[in-house]
Structure 1
Amino acid sequence: MKIKFITFILLLSSSLSYSQTKLADKFFENYGYVKAIELYEKAVENGDKSAHVLTRLGDAYYNNSISDKAVYWYGEALKEHKNIEAEYIYKYIQSLRSIGNYEEADKWFKELSDAQKGDSRLKGYNPDEVDLLEKFTSKNDGIVVTLENVPFNTENSDFGGYVSNNILYYASAKADDKKLYSWNKEPFLDLFQVEIIEEGPKMSFGSPTELASYKVNTDYHEASVAITNDGKTLYFTRDNVNKRNRLNYDKEGTTHLKIYKAILIDGQWTEATELPFNDDKFSTGHPALSPDNTTLYFVSDREGGIGQTDIYSVSINEDGTYGTPENLGPEINTEGREMFPFVSKDNTLYFSSDGHLNLGLLDIFKSDILKYDVPGAVENLGTPFNSGYDDFAFYIDNVTGIGYFSSNRPGGKGGDDIYAFNMNECSQKLNGTAREFKTNNILADVKVQLIDVTGKVIEEVVTLEDGSYTFDVDCNKTYTIVGTKPDYKEDQKSIKTTDENEKAHVVDLLLTPLIKDNQIVINPIFFDFDKWNIRTDAQYELENIVDVMRKHPDMVIKIESHTDSRGRDKYNLKLSDRRAKSTRDYILSRGIHPSRIESALGFGETQLLNKCSNGVKCSEEEHQLNRRSYFYILDQTEK
């Protein structure tokens, strides 16, 4: 007998835990995380330490940004179960980092990396299995890029925009130069400058002027500028010319490129001098400076390189001398051409290459190798920066998101054109008004939550006196908006934003009052045929009763339950009474004191709402109208 009793208790506990978990799941899936947490934790108290419950607890806290609690429950899940999905390990790592426990986070990051070995998502794309245009077409990740072919481009080549002190420096083969370059029958390149009058969506510029002739510009090529932070030292690329302004050739009859330096004195550039690591036997060009001006990056085809042209670095010493050039290595350089390096203020390396996987010819890439001094992935910038043509000479102010690059893509004014770009976060607005269902009355003080597709609460606001609310949201995202207010049934709406910048979406919320006259009104509670146990969907509705009674601690109610006319009268009376008492018992199980429910009675089919009495043929909908429960408020004296 004792064994049977213990077995009965265990079965009952298991049943309660299962019921709580199912109900918690329903609240979780509807973003009711606070209620879900309460129910999941109750399930744990009753002995349910399944991976499902523990990770759901972690997720509920994680989605509400309560990192310390998320750490605890994800940690419990990892202690109790060996094969936890990588998704939860990742969230555990993020939560650990959030509370500053980097050591533990690093430990689990290694665990995650080991567990994910062989996962194709962690490997690079196979170019034989991928549509490169699709791969490198920029997906809308919340950024809008606008391009503008700058107004001072000519019908010849213009490229290499670089900004210093609000002046844009670039190279141009202006048509009024009589000497032509034999390679493309265009004039030789000279360096020009133009004042930037206005930046932003509408760019405007002054009139371009050529830098002082024969101090910087010669009869041959000059291009690719880098200027120190103080604006006093100019590095640039020039053809190898002698003091008589004639080209120098090597034994094979080739003239190479060299990097030169000029100093600004009294507003004028001095005579340019070449750098000591140039050579007549190979080319050195395309200078770029580190943000602190202590390192110069450049391109060269010198002996010992990896490919046709490689990117190198050389230290600039305090006394003005230079260190030994060093190849940036195989993470950056390939057997092809790496050219036009640029280092942004945040120490990101940008460059062009035809050796890394690209859309064709030169593409623009970026790498964090200079930030962390360790090998890292090289990322193709994708469209609209890259095309199937040459795309190069990238410059960006990473604070403003404004920059320039060059391309010979179709639709330009000449051979190579300079394009200005502006990178802005694509944003939209969600706004609406909270009202009362049916009456359409304005509802102030409604808590409105913005929830992303992972279920995480992104932001929370309260409606103003006019019932209004507003969220700033990202483009091309799906959100759920949930509105809650004490004594009201919540309302939730879903919305998918578009890719149109600054578009506004109107999402109104309609909340249904739970208290109407002398009743608490909820959706119908359904029972299985001939049963009186409280189903999960009924529990979900009854939680509204629990919430109202918690909000009003002196409220006393009575419960009435009714059936339709089908079945014997006496049986229906007993069945409705059992259902009323099951309803009462569930509410009491949620911590409501028994004194607050005066009675729970069944009235069977004695109080039908329509004609559907015994022997009358009615539809299922008509019978359903008679199957109902009432929750009458008897006392609501507030202390």
Structure 2
Amino acid sequence: MKIKILALVIILSSSFAFAQTKLADKFFENYGYVKAIELYEKAVEKGKGDAHVLTRLGDAYYNNSNSEKAVYWYGKALSEYKNIEAEYIYKYIQSLRSIGNYEEADVWFKKLSEAQQGDSRLKGYNPDEIDLFDKLTSKNNDVVVTIKNLDFNSENSDFGSFVHNNTLYFASSRSDDNKVYNWNKEPFLDIFQIDVKDGEDGTQSYGSPIQINAEDINTNYHEASIAITNDGKTMYFTRDNTSKRNRLKYDKDGTTHLQIYKATLVGEQWSKVEALPFNDDYFSTGHPTLSRDNKTLYFVSDRDGGIGQTDIYSVSINDDGTYGPPENLGDDINTEGREMFPFISKDNTFYFSSDGYLNLGLLDIFKSNILKDESTTEPVNIGAPFNSGYDDFAYFIDTDTQNGYFSSNRPEGKGSDDIYSYSITECNQQVTGVVREDRTDIILSDVKVQLIDETGKIIDEVVTKEDGVYVFDIECDKPYTVLAAKPDYKDTKETITTTNENEKINTLDLTLIPLIRDNQIVINPIFFDFDKSDIRTDAEYELENIVDVLRKHPEMMIKIESHTDSRGRDKYNMKLSDRRAKSTRDYIISRGVDANRIKSAEGFGETKLLNGCSNGVKCSEEEHQLNRRSYFFIVNR
């Protein structure tokens, strides 16, 4: 007999733990993490600590930004169970890093890499270094990119921006020379400069474009694409292959190729122009750019031995002014197509244009970490609005200000190629509203309002004051849930999805339904299955409101009334409703409420129907269910 009793206790305990888990799941799914944690941890105490419960506990703490607890429960799940989903390993790594345990995080990062090859989150993964521009290139709408076609663009070609000491250098075919280039029937390109002034509001204003050293730098043929050393004393630029007499030089097929030249600043004038030694009459060399330390020159060439039509190369610049041999950057960057217009930003990101990768059309701008000590160097398309279905190239960015320039021949421009300025700012919106009581429209203070992201994580929290107003700063183009809670009121939640309109203010008013009305605690109906007195999970979820009120008011006493529908015999329904009332009472007591605070739990059968569904009347299941209900009357206040 003792064995049977023990077995029954074990079964009942297991059944209770299972029911608590289902109820905890209900709260978890509705962002009730504190209540879910309480119930999950009770289930663990009862021996229901399976992988589902442990990872849910980890998630509940993780979403509530309690990293230490999240680490404990995720770690427990990973140590006790195999085949835990990679999602939880990922969150475990995040939590470990959050508490500064980088060594353990790296161990699990390696395990995740081995188990989850191809997971996009593993590419350059470092939660401690979130770069605004990286967000943009990963197609996030967390930023606003403001693009402007510059006023100084001409009807001809203007491209190739480079900024040094508040001077913008670019190439333009706006020359008054009558001599034109046969390719596009525009004048040959010259190098121009224009003063740039930074306004207090972060915008730029520009002076008038002028040719730089027209006599020494600009010739009757093409000059473009410059790079200037950090000290401002040396300039590299592209020019048509010309003789000392300023005449074009051709190869055996009658083609003139591009070459890179170097000029030295003497006083305020560029002079001492000389061709670089790795130029050649039989292939082109151009589009120079410098490494951050000025010890390496990168350029574009179609020389023999390359991978594609044009490749990007590098040469070392020696201390004595000589150059090392040109080295192809290889297939980390180059393709069988065209790679052009390299540029290296202050943060050592390598930008270039290409038509050899998946793109929006023609030349697109890409970035790579090839010059950084990163785990990936794979080029990334930086996407719209920088790239379009046309040629987009000659990218320049000042990473200190997140302002820069690029060139494009997109049709909305002024000429064949135009220079566009851009600025990158965070895209932010607000959600705000007033919290009121549902029935009276009274403004409510002391309401805890939480902002929850699409993963279920609580990311912000405020408490309303006398005006009932809450305000959250939110990101663009994302879904959010706003959850409001106040003692003696039912929690309420509303969802909102933001647009990509910067600085938009979203209005979302909230209403809370009071639990105490006159002499009752009013909750949603406690429904029972037909002919059953078991407490359903949805009923438990509602009964937690009763538990909360009684915990809030420790002197309060209640009585419970339960009712049935008219189906079945009257006497049977009276007994059934009584069992339901006592099941309801027992659940409340099981949640820690003193039994003496429930003065009575009584069934009234079908004696107090809410509709006309009495004996013999044909009604729907929904109409009958309306009569299967419970009331909670306050005996004292």
Does the TM-score normalized on the shorter chain lie above 0.5? yes
Residue aligning to 1:9: 9
Aligned-partner Cα distance in 2 for 1:612–1:331: 77
Is the deviation greater in 21-30 or in 627-636? 627-636
Counterpart of 1:79 in structure 2 is: 79
Residue 26 of structure 1: aligned partner: 26
Residue 325 to residue 460, structure 1, CA distance change in 2 (3 Å)? farther
Residue in 1 aligned with 2:433? 432
The corresponding residue for 1:337 is 338
Q: What does 1:167-186 correspond to in 2, within 5 Å?
A: 167-186=167-186
Query: Which structure 2 residues correspond to residues 193-212 of structure 1 after superposition, within 5 A?
Result: 193-197=193-197, 204-212=205-213
Q: Give the equivalent residue in structure 1 for 2:589.
A: 588
Q: Structure 1, unaligned stretches of length 5 or more?
A: 124-135
Contact 1:13–1:46 (CA under 8 A) maintained in structure 2: yes
Q: Is the 8 A contact 1:294 1:316 kept in 2?
A: yes
Q: Secondary structure, in 3 states, of the residue corresponding to 1:272?
A: strand
CA shift at 1:111, angstroms? Answer: 2.9
Structure 1 distance, partners of 2:463, 2:255, is: 73
How big is each residue's C-alpha offset from its partner over 1:576-612, in whole Å with a ceiling of 9 and x where there is no partner? 3322222221112112233333333334455666777
Kindly indicate whether the alpha-carbon contact (under 8 Å) linking 1:342 and 1:350 is maintained by their aligned counterparts in 2.
Answer: yes
Q: Which residue number corresponds to residue 38 of structure 1? A: 38
Equivalent pairs counted in the alignment come to 624
Q: Indicate how the Cα distance of structure 1 residues 548 and 120 shifts in structure 2: closer, same or farther if over 3 A, else same.
A: closer
Taking the aligned partners of 1:357 and 1:502, their CA distance within structure 2 comes to: 33
How many angstroms does 1:41 deviate by? 1.5
For the structure 1 residues 584 and 293, does the alpha-carbon distance in structure 2 shift closer, same or farther, using more than 3 Å as the test?
A: farther
Q: Distance in 2 between matches of 1:330 and 1:54?
A: 46
Deviation at 1:283, TM superposition (A): 3.2
Give, as a single letter, the amino acid of the residue that structure 2 aligns with 1:272: V
Alignment CA distance shift 1:310-1:609 (3 Å): closer
User: Counterpart of 2:503?
Assistant: 502
Q: Is the 8 A contact 1:429 1:472 kept in 2?
A: yes
Alignment partners' CA distance in 2, 1:611 and 1:188: 93
- Partners in 2 of 1:479 and 1:406 — Cα distance? 37
Check if 1:259 corresponds to 2:260.
yes
Determine if contact 1:532/1:578 at 8 Å carries over to the other structure. Answer: yes
Q: Distance in 2 between matches of 1:65 and 1:432?
A: 25
1:398-417 to 2 correspondence within 5 Å? Answer: 398-417=399-418
The 3 A distance-change label for structure 1 pair 377 and 7 is: same
Aligned to 1:452: 453
Q: CA deviation at 1:564?
A: 5.0
Q: Taking structure 1 as reference, are residues 349 and 538 closer, same or farther at Cα in structure 2, changes over 3 Å only?
A: same
Pairing 1:285-434 to 2, within 5 Å after superposition: 285-316=286-317, 322-372=323-373, 375-434=376-435
Shift of 1:404: 1.6
Amino acid at match of 2:258: L
- 1:484-530 CA deviation, whole Å, 9 max, x = no partner? 11111011111222233333221111001112233322111111222
Q: Is the 8 A contact 1:479 1:495 kept in 2?
A: yes
Given that residues 175 and 190 in structure 2 are in contact (C-alpha distance below 8 angstroms), is that contact kept between their aligned partners in structure 1?
no
Higher alpha-carbon deviation: 11-20 or 472-481:
472-481
8 Å CA contact 1:195–1:206 kept in 2: the answer is yes
Cα distance in structure 2, aligned partners of 1:27 and 1:567? 35
Percent identical residues: 72
Q: Please, what TM-score do these two structures have when normalized by structure 2?
A: 0.89
Distance 1:613 1:336 in 2: 82
- 1:436-585 to structure 2, matched below 5 A, reads 436-564=437-565, 567-585=568-586
The structure-2 alpha-carbon separation of the partners of 1:351 and 1:610, relative to structure 1 and needing over 3 Å to count, comes to closer
Which sections of structure 2, spanning at least 5 residues, go unmatched? Answer: 124-135
- CA-to-aligned-CA distance 1:440-497 (integer Å, 9 cap, x gap): 1111221111222221222222223211112222232222111111111011111222
Distance 1:616 1:181 in 2: 95
Q: Structure 1 566/298 Cα, relative in aligned 2: closer, same or farther at 3 Å?
A: same
> Are 1:64 and 2:64 an aligned pair?
yes
Contact 1:216 1:271 in 2 (8 A): no
3-state SS of paired residue (2:380): strand
Question: Bigger shift: 589-598 or 601-610?
Answer: 601-610
Query: Which SS does the other structure have where 1:466 is aligned?
Result: coil
Q: Secondary structure at the match of 2:331?
A: coil
Shift of 1:224: 0.9
Give, in angstroms, the shift of residue 255 of structure 1: 4.0
Provide the C-alpha distance between the structure 2 equivalents of 1:377 and 1:338, rounded to a whole number of angstroms: 14
- CA distance in 1 between partners of 2:578 and 2:206 (Å): 84
TM-score calculated relative to the size of structure 1: 0.88
Partners of 2:446 and 2:319 in 1: CA distance: 63
**Which residue does the alignment assign to 2:131?**
none
Does residue 223 in structure 1 map to residue 224 in structure 2?
yes
What is the alpha-carbon distance in structure 2 between the residues aligned to residue 502 and residue 572 of structure 1?
A: 60
- The AA in structure 2 aligned to 1:432 is G
Using the TM superposition, name which of 198-207 and 482-491 deviates more: 198-207
1:283-330: per-residue Cα shift (whole Å, max 9, x none)?
332122333444332223344433332222334456655555433221
Deviation at 1:20, TM superposition (A): 0.7
What is the Cα deviation at residue 427 of structure 1?
2.7
8 Å CA contact 1:197–1:205 kept in 2: the answer is yes
Q: Is the 8 A contact 1:189 1:223 kept in 2?
A: yes
Contact 1:140 1:499 in 2 (8 A): no
* Amino acid of the structure 2 residue aligned with 1:62: Y
